[in-house]
Structure 1
């Protein structure tokens, strides 16, 4: 009877250890996901700020140096069409 109780205890401990292992793996995966999401958000904010600064600099440069309007092309007459 003692052997039966011991095997039940061993099985229970094995199940408990397996659950503990799965929980630890899940927590680690969740932490990695959150960390990557946070890094992605920070990178996106940085890139957005750089883009907006560049667009503002482009607008300022355009205001200081206005582009001359393009000349319209002269209409080309087709030869032989009458």
Structure 2
């Protein structure tokens, strides 16, 4: 019976050791994912701001143009 208990204790210690190692791997993966998400958000924000700036330039350009002359009617 003591052999059975020793085996169980050894198995429990092994599981705990593996859990700690696995936990560190999971934490590292989560940190990497968080960094990737922040980088993607920054990239998307940059693209959105560039698009908004282009739209503003287009609106200003259109506002500065003279209206097209109306075609004259010939009789």
Q: Same fold (TM over 0.5)?
A: yes
Structure 1 runs, 4 residues or longer, greater than 4 Å off: 1-9
CA RMSD of aligned residues (A): 2.5
Richer in helix (by share): 2
Measured in 2, the distance between the counterparts of 1:70 and 1:15 equals 84
TM-score, with length taken from structure 1:
0.65
Q: Which runs of 5+ in 2 are unaligned?
A: none
Q: Which runs of 5+ in 1 are unaligned?
A: 72-82
Measured in 2, the distance between the counterparts of 1:70 and 1:40 equals 49
TM-score, with length taken from structure 2:
0.70
